[in-house]
Amino acid sequence: MVLLLLVDLDQDLAALGPLGGFFVLRTGGAPHAPLPTLADAYTTYTCTTHTTYPQENQSSDARGNPITFRVEKVAHSLRAPEMRIAVSVAQQGLAARLWSVTLACAVLYGSVPDLDPGLLHWDPDAGAPGDLWLAEVRPLPADAATVADVVLKGHLEPLAAALRARHRVAPGLLRGNAASALAGAARQLDHWAAAHGHPRAAAHTRSLAAGLLAHPLLSGTGTLTGTSFRRRSCCLYYRVPGGGLCGDCCFTRPPRSSAHGTSG
């Protein structure tokens, strides 16, 4: 059984292991391959080290740029008809990873790791859980204000700024994605806690998620009812060939394909 509310974060973040998927975070030292940190990605929007991820079918910009690499990889995988769709999906995926790790640590340990972008290495060619590697585990308080500083201010604000500098994507869409990713991570953690006999952890998850969704950077993005969330914007996934509406979408049916103005 996983122990809840441990005094200190262990260096392996072992309590996250049973949750799997988006919740797991690799830790300890530098990654085996030379990978950029998220600080590199946000502040320079270019990779300052030699990349080791594949370069086939990538633009010349993507070969040295981790954010562009991930966006183009997502675009190719989804066969996205518009680049902003891939931007949206890539941003929401990284947001989900960051929220999942931080929320789970807050609930299971009672503290969160400092996810300083300079400590967090990112492999833009990998999927969860192998995409993020934290060089050093440094504990921080697990209150909502600190969690918001770690994820929103430390990552999602600079990520949104970097994406919007190169792509025509609405800020409301990115804010909605951040809220949707938070709600989704909280829902998964709540279900896991309830299924494993941890009602206090489930209640803590719901309370923390509600507090975070009231943050000025997320307020107004949607409505949280228990663990269900209905956002007020659309991530554009319905525009992907064969795609449909997400469970928390603002729409009840996909808009007509000619309605190009809907972006959040």
What would the two tokens of residue 10 be?
């262990």
Residues in the chain: 264
Number of other CB atoms surrounding residue 91 within 10 Å:
27
Given the structure tokens 């947001």, which residue do they identify? 95
Whether the link from the prior residue into 129 is cis, omega within 30° of 0, is: yes
Predicted local distance difference test score (pLDDT) of residue 47 = 37
Give percent above pLDDT 70 in the chain: 86
The CA distance from 37 to 90, in Å, is 17
Domain regions of the chain by residue span: 14-239
For residue range 82-119, list pLDDT tens digits in order. 999 999 999 999 999 999 999 999 999 999 999 999 99
The CA distance from 40 to 202, in Å, is 35
**CA 220 to the chain's CA centroid:** 19
Contact by Cβ (8 Å): 15, 6: yes
Predicted local distance difference test score (pLDDT) of residue 227 = 87
The CA distance from 112 to 147, in Å, is 8
pTM: 0.88
Predicted local distance difference test score (pLDDT) of residue 29 = 74
Predicted local distance difference test score (pLDDT) of residue 257 = 57
3-state secondary structure the chain: CCCCCCCCCCCCCHHHHHHCHHHCCEECCCCCCCCCEHHHHHHCCCCCCCCCCCCCCCCCCHHHCHHHHHHHHHHHHHCCCCHHHHHHHHHHHHHHHHHHHHHHHHHHHCEEECCCCCCEEECCCCCCCCCEEECCCCEEECCHHHHHHHHHHHHHHHHHHHHHHHCCCCHHHHHHHHHHHHHHHHHHHHHHHHHCCCHHHHHHHHHHHHHHHCCCCCCCCEEEECCEEEECCCCCHHHCCCCCCCCCCCCCCCCCCCCCCCCC
Q: What is the mean pLDDT of each run of 10 residues along the chain (264 residues)?
A: 59 94 89 85 56 43 74 95 96 97 97 96 91 95 97 97 92 97 97 94 96 96 93 93 89 69 44
Give which of 126, 119, 47, 63 is closest to 93, Cα–Cα. Answer: 126
Predicted local distance difference test score (pLDDT) of residue 54 = 43
Give which of 134, 125, 106, 137 is closest to 63, Cα–Cα. Answer: 125
